[in-house]
Chains A and B, each alone.
Chain A
Amino acid sequence: MIAIGGRRLLAAVNPAACAAGLAPGMPLADALSFLPGLAAVPAEPAADAAALLRLAEWCGRYSPWTAPDGTDGVKIEITGCGHLWGGEAALAADLASRLGRQGLTHRIAIAGTLGAAWALARFAARSGGPAFAHPDDTSEALAPLPVEALRLDPPTVAGLRRVGLRRIGELYPMPRAALGRRFGASVAQRLDQALDRLPEPLSPLEPAPTRRVRLSFAEPISEPADLARAANRLTENLAHWLAREGVGARRLDLAFLRVDGQVEHIRLGTARASRDAGHLAALFAARLETIDPGLGVEDMILAAYRVEPLAIEQTGLAGTGVDTAEAGLAPLIDRLGIRLGPGALSCLEARASHIPERASVNAVIGEDGKTPIIPGRGAAANPEPMNTGSADLARRVFLGSGLGPAGRPGMTKKKAGASTGKAPRPVRLFRPPEPIEAMFVVPDDPPFRFTWRRRSHAVARADGPERIAEEWWQPDATGAAAAVRDYYRVEDAEGRRFWLFRAGLGEQPHWFLHGVFA
């Protein structure tokens, strides 16, 4: 039952209602007059679509190329898959029996083109048995079907009927030009698609995997140990194929097809192309506990979605470690990533910025599918390591006149380029900077005492200021005076060294502690 424009219409009817003369599209009021005891429930198109999507996914057991079709169908590209099931008829029979077990009424058709299969499924197949059309007999099979079977919009169908064209076969002898002039290009196009004169690609639900291996079970399995064993066998099988093709997988998907038609997935990426069955199996094993097998899993499908060339490696004797030398850190990064979660692993990446927190960022490894830089390898080849990069880029303004009384003890002004050449940076940097309560004599001076984390520190010595202004060329620049920071390196009486800054230039500046020096 759906509500359209204030009227309530029937969206779908069951066989009993159909027998009583009800049909989709009929107003509910009329239907109730036919059948006073009619049980009507609101339609849930979203839930229907989700269920259809799930069904399409489940059909992945027959072929990787599946997709929902409209609101009431699933298309499966089974080219090259039939023989795995002992022929197309056996495949259809298997599909029918499994759908029947799930309590789904269905009509199955297998044909040479998407259009022909669509027509046959809806207009030729009966619930009892599937309809077949051999590619050579497509036109004969379609000829007796009504023109609606060509996937045309209702006005076009009405137009065809008005001129007496009721069956598809009646369109065959018609001149194309006349058809096109009168009914638009869609009739000829659909006809050609159904008869395999025009190609019609099927866009699959998932991108087509590069390599896929499947394991079906005679009895549904649900024990974790069984699932783990099956995952091991699949990874071994996949690794075998990947090795033959000289590639390694970067993105993998292990699908668990449950008896009840639900599909569970473990998707993972690897830091480096891998076809090491043991390694991949261990990655899956770490995630197996997230899988709910429900009443049982009847199929498992392992697909490699992204592969990269991987040279054939000399596999060492057990324990000689040749494999680890070749793979480098990638297996370790994969294992850590699996347990610690996405985003836990990062590299320190130098950026061209003089704002301290932007000069070095934690770049998450494996994000955006980008290949992580495995440090160490080739680190020596990098002619310009970070320690010469960011610090030199930092724009430092040393204030000449902003300092307090020149003779004040415990304070100095360092000239740019004095002694070390670059201002020291703390080993620990707090993000965001932690606010402190500072006591100062003149706003331009470093504080003589500050309180950080409820502990008071007396400043014994200080260096600075180092003025770091906002990056005015960045889109998020505010231009506010508070964005200007004056950094001071201070040492307390105990000898601990801190990096403080004063935000803003006004009479009431805010002080922050940004880092701790070693």
Chain B
Amino acid sequence: MPPLLTLDALRDQVRHIENPQMTRHGVLPFGVEAIDRALPGGGLALGALHEILGAGGDEEDGAAAAGFTAGILARLTNSLESRISPQPSPRLNGPTEAPRENAAVISLRSLRGREARSEPAYPHSPRPNGVGSTLSRIAGEGADGRSPEAGEGAILWCLKRPDVYGPGLAGHGLDPARLVIAAAKRDDDILWAMEEGLRTGRAAGLAGVVGEIGRLPMVAGRRLQLAAESSGVTAFLLRRWRNAAEAAGERGRPTAAVTRWRVAALPSAGIADEPGIGRPLWRLELLRCRAGVPAAWIVESADATGHVCLAAELADRPAMPRRTVADAPVRRAG
């Protein structure tokens, strides 16, 4: 076994000793090597609470945050659906990546005293533009031992003002027909509705819960995280603040979420000789990640399949401070 594999396996083991709940429900990789490397388990933890912030003026509208969330949910629901299709598709991942994941998952299972399966990774169609392979790896089974399929894919989206726009979400890959919109007037009601959704569980057909919320007490966040952990439904908190004062008060507060992201729109990547709006870019920051490494990337916004990809280096693009995993200050939280 190459030394890298051993090290990763050991890391995983340590992670599970530290927090056995961590990746119980598996992870959803971004399909971007740089992002997945910063996340424990190689992807966004499923059955967990994730917090997504806007930036600047968008803190009020949460458009970029909604687009980012829509992309994740699109990949989440599509991956669930592809699992239902019975025909075994050939392994499409690159050979360099697969064994590492195999090792990690098998060690995870043997540690938990379960029977190791020979094919823990579920192959998925590769990214159309070939920037990486999407690997929907739902390693763990549901809390009750049931497999999480059976018509999953509805998304409960709780908000105050129903301003999400179907065709716009579709542009980031999310089928709007999956959405159940719950409009509530108060933050309390939104938190309550989210928790109800999370407690309903995956068995009822719910894949994700999204809540747009201004003020988030620590206790409420903790409750949501626990509910998500126990049911396996992934939850997203989109923070939308009415004004700068509220934003300033809430932005720095600690949270019970497993990850905290900030998505900011960047000037689009122009195409040479075409002066209009090019490919929309985001500055994607992983501000906080339990057992992970904070980092930031510049990515192209989620495409019609919900994927983001690292922005190509362009000469005429305005210089942006860019941190990668390597040069990011190591700050472990959680």
**Residue of A320, A332, A411, A489 ringed by the most chain B CB atoms within 10 A:** A332
* Residues 280-305 of B at the A interface (beta carbon under 8 Å): 280-282, 301-302, 304
Distance in Å: Cβ of B64 to nearest Cβ of chain A: 5
Q: Is B246 located at the chain interface by the 8 A CB criterion? A: no
* Residues 318-345 of A at the B interface (beta carbon under 8 Å): 319-321, 324-325, 327-329, 331-333, 335-336, 339-340, 343-345
Check if A340 sits within 8 Å of B175, measured CB to CB.
no
Q: Is A86 located at the chain interface by the 8 A CB criterion? A: no
Check if A321 sits within 8 Å of B205, measured CB to CB.
no
- Within 8 Å by CB of B201, from A324, A345, A359, A430, lies A324
Q: A347-B179, A347-B181 known; A386 and B154 CB under 8 Å?
A: no
Contact with A along B43-77 (1 / 0, CB 8 A): 00000000000001110111111111010000001
Q: Is A151 located at the chain interface by the 8 A CB criterion? A: no
List of B residues within 8 angstroms of A375 by Cβ? 153-155, 177-180
List of A residues within 8 angstroms of B180 by Cβ? 329, 333, 345-347, 365, 375
User: Could you tell me the distance between the alpha carbons of A339 and B205 in the complex, rounded to whole angstroms?
Assistant: 21
User: Could you tell me the distance between the alpha carbons of A10 and B200 in the complex, rounded to whole angstroms?
Assistant: 64
List of A residues within 8 angstroms of B81 by Cβ? 380
Interface residue count for B (Cβ, 8 Å)?
A: 74
Check if A518 sits within 8 Å of B178, measured CB to CB.
no
In the complex, which residue of chain B has the Cβ closest to the Cβ of A489? B277
Q: Is A156 located at the chain interface by the 8 A CB criterion? A: no
Q: Is B265 located at the chain interface by the 8 A CB criterion? A: yes
* Residues 234-286 of B at the A interface (beta carbon under 8 Å): 264-268, 270, 274-277, 280-282
List of B residues within 8 angstroms of A424 by Cβ? 168, 171
In the complex, which residue of chain A has the Cβ closest to the Cβ of B144? A321
Q: A335-B196, A340-B184, A379-B153 known; A348 and B176 CB under 8 Å?
A: yes
In the complex, which residue of chain A has the Cβ closest to the Cβ of B61? A516
Check if A425 sits within 8 Å of B165, measured CB to CB.
yes
- Within 8 Å by CB of A360, from B165, B274, B281, lies B165
User: Could you tell me the distance between the alpha carbons of A333 and B67 in the complex, rounded to whole angstroms?
Assistant: 25
* Residues 188-226 of B at the A interface (beta carbon under 8 Å): 189, 192-193, 196-197, 200-201, 203-207
- Within 8 Å by CB of B277, from A344, A359, A365, A462, lies A462
Distance in Å: Cβ of A319 to nearest Cβ of chain B: 8
Q: Is A455 located at the chain interface by the 8 A CB criterion? A: yes
Q: Is A184 located at the chain interface by the 8 A CB criterion? A: no
User: Could you tell me the distance between the alpha carbons of A495 and B284 in the complex, rounded to whole angstroms?
Assistant: 14
Check if B183 sits within 8 Å of A340, measured CB to CB.
yes
Check if A345 sits within 8 Å of B169, measured CB to CB.
no
Q: A377-B151, A377-B205, A518-B66 known; A461 and B171 CB under 8 Å?
A: no
How many pairs of A and B residues are in contact by the CB < 8 Å rule?
Answer: 242
In the complex, which residue of chain B has the Cβ closest to the Cβ of A427? B168
Q: Is B167 located at the chain interface by the 8 A CB criterion? A: yes
Check if A332 sits within 8 Å of B165, measured CB to CB.
no
Check if B204 sits within 8 Å of A325, measured CB to CB.
yes
User: Could you tell me the distance between the alpha carbons of A360 and B164 in the complex, rounded to whole angstroms?
Assistant: 10
List of B residues within 8 angstroms of A347 by Cβ? 177, 179-181
**Residue of B56, B175, B274, B302 ringed by the most chain A CB atoms within 10 A:** B175
User: Could you tell me the distance between the alpha carbons of A430 and B168 in the complex, rounded to whole angstroms?
Assistant: 12
Distance in Å: Cβ of B106 to nearest Cβ of chain A: 28
Distance in Å: Cβ of A359 to nearest Cβ of chain B: 6
Q: Is A431 located at the chain interface by the 8 A CB criterion? A: yes
Q: A376-B151, A427-B164 known; A328 and B204 CB under 8 Å?
A: yes
In the complex, which residue of chain A has the Cβ closest to the Cβ of B64? A518
Contact with B along A217-248 (1 / 0, CB 8 A): 00000000000000000000000000000000
Q: A329-B200, A497-B280 are in contact. List 9 more A-B contacts (CB 8 A).
A: A329-B205, A344-B183, A360-B167, A378-B151, A453-B60, A455-B57, A517-B168, A518-B63, A518-B70
Ordered by A's residue number, 25 sampled pairs between the chains whose C-beta atoms are within 8 Å are A324-B204, A325-B203, A328-B205, A331-B200, A332-B156, A332-B197, A332-B200, A333-B180, A347-B177, A348-B166, A376-B151, A376-B178, A376-B205, A379-B178, A385-B170, A427-B165, A428-B163, A429-B165, A462-B277, A491-B268, A494-B57, A515-B168, A517-B63, A518-B66, A518-B280
- Which residues from chain B sit less than 8 Å from chain A, CB to CB? 56-58, 60-68, 70, 77, 81, 84, 144, 146, 150-156, 162-172, 175-184, 189, 192-193, 196-197, 200-201, 203-207, 264-268, 270, 274-277, 280-282, 301-302, 304
- Which residues from chain A sit less than 8 Å from chain B, CB to CB? 319-321, 324-325, 327-329, 331-333, 335-336, 339-340, 343-350, 356, 359-360, 362, 365, 373-380, 382, 385-387, 390-391, 409-414, 424-431, 453, 455, 460-463, 489-491, 493-497, 515-518
